[in-house]
Structure formats: structure tokens, C-alpha cells
Structure 1
């Protein structure tokens, strides 16, 4: 089951880079993000109302505030930088490469912040994964000579934003259901991007069919699929293993781009994909006794669950 969840997460998360490229061809990043999150927020709030807010019982104002902060970091901040970078000319593969450095940053910080120490074998897998991602996207990055150097700092800032959200979630002692977190995160992002779009005079959507295709694509595959599975896999596997899957994003994005946009898929791309796959196998095959005894101890700390509501008759 974990393998299937991991594979689905990689495919759905990679779809976000492809959908961003498809949507920003006809509209700005803020416009696309506004129309991505407005219907999402409406659907999720309607579901919450229909369920009688049962999943929200037991949550404090502090819990909701933490989820708002996580949403601002993991959705608003992260996605805006990714979309804006692609809009400025950074290719989807290079954006995925910069996003793929997240495991090294998260792995380095997991020990001092979460007491989840990374074993030597895991560090080997992390470095191997970074090498595989670099092999795939080096040629693409060198070919994009017309893009200013500072533009590459935009997706890097987004990567740091997602890392911060991950650690903020991991330090929480209250277990929040995926439905509640998704509702808070998407509603927060809808408000942020709607205000930003109207302030920039860019709220009107594009009439191009590809814009609406990208919107549906991003709502279904990227948000419900990729974003939802990110937190699910994080809960089941921990910071290091879930972030190692990020190494697969650049190779998979390269394959997807070749199939959908006619981007070249070379021997170098295939080699990088093979290296990234081996990196994931190394990390996921690491012995839990070597470097994860402290992780297990830290994660076994009980989190209070919100009380269940009476079963409706």
C-alpha cells in the first residue's frame, strides 16, 4: 500500500509543474491560482457544512491558526513562487530540480528540530537522489540563458516555504484530519490569491480552453491528489522518506513534458531517472534500527484526537 501511495503521490505532485506550464501560457500566476482555489474552497466548505462540522470538534483556535500558517507556507507561498518562476521563463524541469533540493534541507534540519536523525545510508540516498535530479535538468538549465540569475531564487524560496510548513506540521501535537487541513489551507489560499488578483487587476480569467483545462487539472490531480497525498504519506512514512520521493519529481516531469509538450527526452534524462529511482530504493530500504530509533521515539508521542461525534441516525 505504501508503494502505491508513494507512486500516486509522485505522479500527482509532478502534474502540478505540467499544469502550471499549461495554465501560465494564457494567464498570470496569480490569476491561475485564484481560479484554482476559489472552486476548491467552495467545495470543501460545502462538504464541511454538509457533515455538520463534525471533524472540527475538539480543535482550538490555536489549532486552526496553525493550519492557516501551514496553508500560507505550503500552498500560498510555495505555489506562487513555482508558478511565478515558470511564468518568468524557468522551465518546469528546472523548477522541479530546485524543488528537489528540499530533501537535503529537510534532512539536515530534521535532527535539531524534530530529533529525527538521518542515518548514513539515508544520507547516501539523499545525495544520490540529488545527483540524479541534476543529471536530468542540467542541460535544460544551461540552455535557459535568457533567464536572469535571480529568477532561480524564486522557486528556491518556495522550496524553503514548503520545508517550513512540513516542520510546522510535524511539531504539532494535535492530529487534524485531512479534510479539515485541506479546507483551511484551500480557503486561506483562495482568500490570498483573490485579494492579490484583484489588487493587481488580474482577476478576469482567460477564455482559452487550455486555461480551464489547466484549472481542472490542477484542482483534481495537483490539489486533491498531490497535496492531499503529501500529508498522508508524511504521516505514514516521516519527513526523510516522504521528501526523498521529491527526487523523482524532476525526472517524472521531464517524461511528462516530453509526452505532452514535445520536450526532448534524451539518454541523459533516462540516466537521471534511473539514478533517482535507485536513490528512493536506498532510503526506503534503510534499516529503522540504525538511524530511526530516535525518530520512532519522537513520533510515538501521543497526540490528542478530537472526540468523535455521535453517529447520525
Structure 2
């Protein structure tokens, strides 16, 4: 593949991922969140079944299928379910992206607690800045166009953040050698197990079928659930896996810009400052340590 095109892949990945929050904003007025996600996951499973048949990919072992479903329940069920529920309860798309955009920071913290990975001083500073930034966004007066955030929206964002962070930890621990295509299908099956019961228990399943709703569903299946995953697979195959986490710190500003132009979602100065702190914090956590230069010895 052309080198210049290869360099554009991370940018394309970040942009597609950031549209997920915008996609939710378009879908929510026309369909309930968990019902939308149930349909999205089921259509995605069908699409991945076709890909597996077309590409003749192998299936994971039974124990790996169980692990993948657990990871999917966290990454797709808890994460996407939390984001969609938060937006349905009035949390602006930009703010929800800032919340869950801290997941590399929480992943680093969980890695320190659960995997005994050492944190450098600059990463600890990043954790503090990220926490302060999110606190400013939440508590800033007039920080968002919607005023104060509903408590259910905040809790949903926290659930989404924990889901994608802990799911990422489990992926590193349990699923490094699982086939990506069939493993991803199992993850979406785990997501269905989370959102389908919530939809049956809490929602009416009334749908306002219009262009925005259909477009949001099509985009979420093919661009987000399939396209973004395939880009992620390509980056991993090309040796970009160590950099993938750092790309996520670009998602919140990308979402905030899109939400501003599409929905006129605005941040006050305090909230904007908090957003900046959060992005800087995540960058410090995900920044790679520079290798020490070897000392040169005079051999004369």
C-alpha cells in the first residue's frame, strides 16, 4: 500500500470513531438507544458471518469464545450502551466523547493496579490532569448548551468509560491470539446479551422510520462496527498496535468540533479549559518513553 495512504489510516480511524457520538445524536430522536444498539449488533453479526465465510477465517476455541463474549459485553454493551443512554438523557455528544476519551488514562491506571505495570511520573501527572479536566467539564456553570448534566447521564458515561477500559485490559490478558474477525463477531454477540434484555425491559420499541434513522443505522454497521474494526485490524497487522491507544486522545476534540458545526453544541470557557486539560492528560499517559541514547566511548 502507498506509504502516504498508510499514514492517513490513523487519521481516518480517529474520524470514523469520533462520528459514533454524532451518529448516536442523529439516531436517538427516532429510536430508543438499546433497541438501536440491538439492531446494530445483530446486523453487524450477519455482516461478519458473511466476511468469515468469504475470507474462510477460522473460529476461536470454546474458552476463547466465552472470553470474547465477556469482552464484547464490556466494550460494546457497557461502552456503547452507556454512551447512547447518556446522550438519550441529555448529555451532549461532545461531552460524552470527552468522558469516554479518558479511557487510555483509566486503562493505564487499571494496568498499574491489576497488571502491576509501573507508571512514570509524567503518566501520574497525566492522570491528575485528566481527572481535573473532566471535573471542570462536569461542574462548570453553563459549560454546555444543555446546562447541568443529568445524574443518570453522568453515571452512564462512567459505566461506558469503565466498560471500554476494563474490556481493553481483558483483551490484552486473554485474547491476544484470538482470530480478529471471528473474535470480533463473538464480541458483538456479547454486546447483544447486554443491550437486548435492557431493551426488552425498559423500552417500547417504537421507531420513527426516516432518512436520519436509517442512515444512522447503516453508518453504524458498515462504517463504525465494520470499517473502524477493519482499520484497527490493519494497523495491528502493520505493527501499529502500540500506538493505537494514543490515537484516542484525538477523538474528543474531533467530536466536539463536529457537534459544534452540526448541533451547535458549545462549551463555556471553563469547560473548554477542562477539555484541553483532559486531552493533555491522556496524551501524557499514552506518550511513549524515549529510549536512552547509548553512551559513546572514546576508543582512542
TM-score (norm 2): 0.78
Cα distance, 1:93 vs structure 2: 1.8
What does 1:159-170 correspond to in 2, within 5 Å? 159-170=161-172
Q: Deviations over 1:60-116 (max 9, x none)?
A: 211111001111110011111110111011111221222133233211221343343
Residue in 2 aligned with 1:71?
A: 72
Q: Does the Cα contact within 8 Å between 2:143 and 2:271 map onto a contact in 1?
A: no
User: Which segment is superposed worse, 250-259 or 111-120?
Assistant: 111-120
User: Which segment is superposed worse, 99-108 or 124-133?
Assistant: 124-133
Give the RMSD, CA atoms, in angstroms: 3.5
- Find out whether 1:97 has 2:106 as its counterpart: no
d(CA) in 2 for partners of 1:222 and 1:266?
A: 30
What does 1:1-313 correspond to in 2, within 5 Å? 4-52=8-56, 54-56=57-59, 59-125=60-126, 127-128=128-129, 138=140, 141=143, 144-145=146-147, 147-172=149-174, 174-190=176-192, 192-200=194-202, 202-203=204-205, 205-227=207-229, 229=231, 236-238=240-242, 242-264=244-266, 286-289=288-291
How many matched pairs? 285
Unaligned 5+ runs, structure 2 = 293-300
d(CA) in 2 for partners of 1:133 and 1:225?
A: 30
Q: Give the direction of change, closer, same or farther, for the CA distance of 1:200–1:8 in structure 2 (3 Å limit).
A: same
Q: Does the Cα contact within 8 Å between 1:91 and 1:140 map onto a contact in 2?
A: no
d(CA) in 2 for partners of 1:5 and 1:131?
A: 32
Q: Deviations over 1:147-205 (max 9, x none)?
A: 43343111101111111111111112651232112211223334554454345564454
Secondary structure of 2:174's match? coil
d(CA) in 1 for partners of 2:142 and 2:252?
A: 11
Q: Give the direction of change, closer, same or farther, for the CA distance of 1:205–1:218 in structure 2 (3 Å limit).
A: same
d(CA) in 1 for partners of 2:185 and 2:125?
A: 37
Cα distance, 1:35 vs structure 2: 2.2
d(CA) in 1 for partners of 2:234 and 2:137?
A: 28
d(CA) in 1 for partners of 2:58 and 2:276?
A: 42
Cα distance, 1:44 vs structure 2: 0.9
Q: Give the direction of change, closer, same or farther, for the CA distance of 1:67–1:285 in structure 2 (3 Å limit).
A: closer
Q: Deviations over 1:232-255 (max 9, x none)?
A: 7678444xx544443332221110
Unaligned 5+ runs, structure 1 = 291-313
d(CA) in 2 for partners of 1:117 and 1:213?
A: 45
Secondary structure of 1:118's match? coil
d(CA) in 1 for partners of 2:223 and 2:134?
A: 22
Cα distance, 1:274 vs structure 2: 6.7
Q: Give the direction of change, closer, same or farther, for the CA distance of 1:158–1:232 in structure 2 (3 Å limit).
A: farther
